[in-house]
């Protein structure tokens, strides 16, 4: 029999940051994860960006989340002796006069002072297909999630706080799971949460996304560029290009078509030879009202959820994990927009 304070199900970005924050507070934690094969975090580009680039608005609570992420990831990297957090400028590519006017208008009206550069810059690189200008967002970064998740997994293995298997809901009782006795259980299963019978009332609106990785020695980009797709430099001439969004993937899905879509969008920006070296997909745990799903089960008071991170898990997970812990440990109310009780209160 093993006794723990916190049993965490899932080691995507949600389970990882939550596990780390609890361990940092001296809590006795055990994580169960079936592997990264179906994890959205493992395929995600990991861009940390406060702006909705299409509309040029700030995403929800963006600046609080961004601020927190900037101190959180370097601290976690230091504990794991890795560098997974990379500061990198994110540039919106602008090709028409209308887009330019929109940038100027939004810069004043949002306002974007301190968040994005006011002046647009001409791009002189011959690899760009047209005479683009770039509008730069400040404070952006990307997290090398494969590195972060793999290293945290090794760390958890070494500390004997990881069980690598599928969690079976049929074996769960109020305070026991097989030979484990827990005080609290937190479900961080991402999109797989739709199979969780305890939280089946949560209104997910899952969204599948595809990404390709290309090798392109002619490009020498140091910054991230975004038109319809983003192009993110990984180093060693490798770039991630993505992503697609598809809500109807359960009815039909053609990965070849998605690949074609990404290629066309990449070729609409760049003029150079490249080779596709990888293609991956994942399912974003998005929610109908576009807010995360944190909090306590309505009846089983030691059952919790940390989910619904949608398409901005890297930006939001660190600060939200802290808020969930404050709720569980100190009874501090959750922000009403994330509290999952919004879906069961009449």
Ligand X SMILES: Cc1cc2nc3c(=O)[nH]c(=O)nc-3n(C[C@H](O)[C@H](O)[C@H](O)COP(=O)(O)OP(=O)(O)OC[C@H]3O[C@@H](n4cnc5c(N)ncnc54)[C@H](O)[C@@H]3O)c2cc1C
Chain residues in the site for ligand X (CB under 6 A): 9-15, 32-36, 38-41, 43-47, 166-167, 188-192, 209, 211, 242-243, 282, 284-285, 307, 309-315
Query: Which is nearer to ligand X, 107 or 318 (by Cβ)?
Result: 318
In whole angstroms, how close is the CB of 240 to ligand X at the nearest point? 9
In whole angstroms, how close is the CB of 194 to ligand X at the nearest point? 10
In whole angstroms, how close is the CB of 8 to ligand X at the nearest point? 9
In whole angstroms, how close is the CB of 204 to ligand X at the nearest point? 11
DSSP code string of 142-170: EE-HHHHHHHHHHHHHHTT-EE-S---GG
Query: Which is nearer to ligand X, 98 or 248 (by Cβ)?
Result: 248
How far apart are the C-alpha atoms of 74 and 244, rounded to whole Å?
29
Query: Which is nearer to ligand X, 43 or 219 (by Cβ)?
Result: 43
In whole angstroms, how close is the CB of 45 to ligand X at the nearest point? 4
Among candidate residues 174, 169, 172, the one with its CA nearest the CA of residue 195: 169
In whole angstroms, how close is the CB of 138 to ligand X at the nearest point? 17
In whole angstroms, how close is the CB of 22 to ligand X at the nearest point? 15
Query: Which is nearer to ligand X, 116 or 120 (by Cβ)?
Result: 116
DSSP 3-state helix, strand, coil percentages of the chain (rounded to 5)?
Answer: 30, 30, 40
Query: Which is nearer to ligand X, 130 or 335 (by Cβ)?
Result: 335
Query: Which is nearer to ligand X, 120 or 189 (by Cβ)?
Result: 189
Element (H, E) at 260: helix 255-267
DSSP code string of 46-82: -EE--EETTTTEEPTTHHHHHHHHHHHHHHHHHHHT-
Contact 311, 266 (CB under 8 A): no
In whole angstroms, how close is the CB of 316 to ligand X at the nearest point? 7
Query: Which is nearer to ligand X, 31 or 120 (by Cβ)?
Result: 31
Task: Please state, in angstroms and as integers, the Cα–Cα distance from residue 43 to each residue in 28, 97, 147, 150, 192, following that order.
Answer: 29, 35, 11, 12, 15
How far apart are the C-alpha atoms of 336 and 71, rounded to whole Å?
25
Query: Which is nearer to ligand X, 133 or 144 (by Cβ)?
Result: 144
In this structure, the strands spanning 90-94 and 133-137 are antiparallel
Task: Please state, in angstroms and as integers, the Cα–Cα distance from residue 193 to each residue in 55, 295, 300, 303, 304, following that order.
Answer: 30, 14, 17, 13, 12
Contact 262, 222 (CB under 8 A): no
How far apart are the C-alpha atoms of 2 and 317, rounded to whole Å?
28
């Amino acid at each position: 029999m093993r006794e723990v304070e916190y049993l965490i199900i899932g080691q995507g970005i949600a389970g990882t940051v939550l596990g780390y924050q609890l361990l940092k507070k001296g809590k006795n934690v055990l994580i169960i994860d079936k592997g990264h094969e179906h994890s959205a975090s493992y395929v995600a580009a990991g861009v940390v960006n406060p702006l909705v680039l299409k509309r040029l608005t700030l995403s929800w609570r963006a600046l609080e989340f961004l601020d927190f992420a900037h101190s959180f990831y370097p601290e976690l990297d230091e504990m794991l002796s890795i560098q997974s957090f990379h500061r990198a400028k994110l540039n919106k590519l602008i090709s028409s006069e209308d887009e330019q006017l929109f940038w100027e208008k939004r810069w004043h009206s949002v306002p974007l002072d301190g968040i994005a550069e006011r002046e647009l810059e001409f791009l002189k690189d011959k690899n760009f297909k047209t005479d683009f200008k770039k509008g730069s967002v400040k404070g952006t970064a990307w997290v090398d999630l494969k590195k972060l998740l793999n290293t945290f997994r090794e760390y958890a293995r070494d500390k004997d706080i990881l069980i690598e298997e599928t969690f079976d809901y049929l074996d769960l009782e109020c305070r026991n799971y097989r030979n484990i006795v827990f005080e609290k259980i937190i479900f961080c299963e991402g999109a797989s949460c739709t199979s969780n019978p305890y939280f089946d009332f949560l209104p997910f609106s899952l969204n599948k996304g595809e990404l390709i990785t290309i090798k392109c020695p002619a490009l020498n980009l140091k910054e991230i560029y975004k038109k319809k797709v983003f192009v993110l430099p990984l180093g060693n001439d490798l770039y991630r290009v993505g992503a697609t969004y598809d809500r109807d993937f359960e009815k039909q899905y053609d990965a070849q078509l998605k690949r074609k879509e990404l290629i066309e969008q990449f070729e609409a920006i760049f003029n150079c030879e490249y080779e596709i070296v990888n293609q991956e997909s994942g399912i974003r745990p998005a929610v109908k009202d576009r807010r995360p799903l944190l909090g306590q089960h309505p009846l089983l008071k030691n059952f919790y959820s940390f989910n619904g991170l949608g398409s901005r898990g890297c930006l939001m997970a660190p600060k939200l994990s802290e808020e969930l812990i404050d709720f569980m440990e100190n009874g501090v109310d959750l922000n009403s927009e994330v509290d999952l009780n919004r879906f069961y209160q009449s």
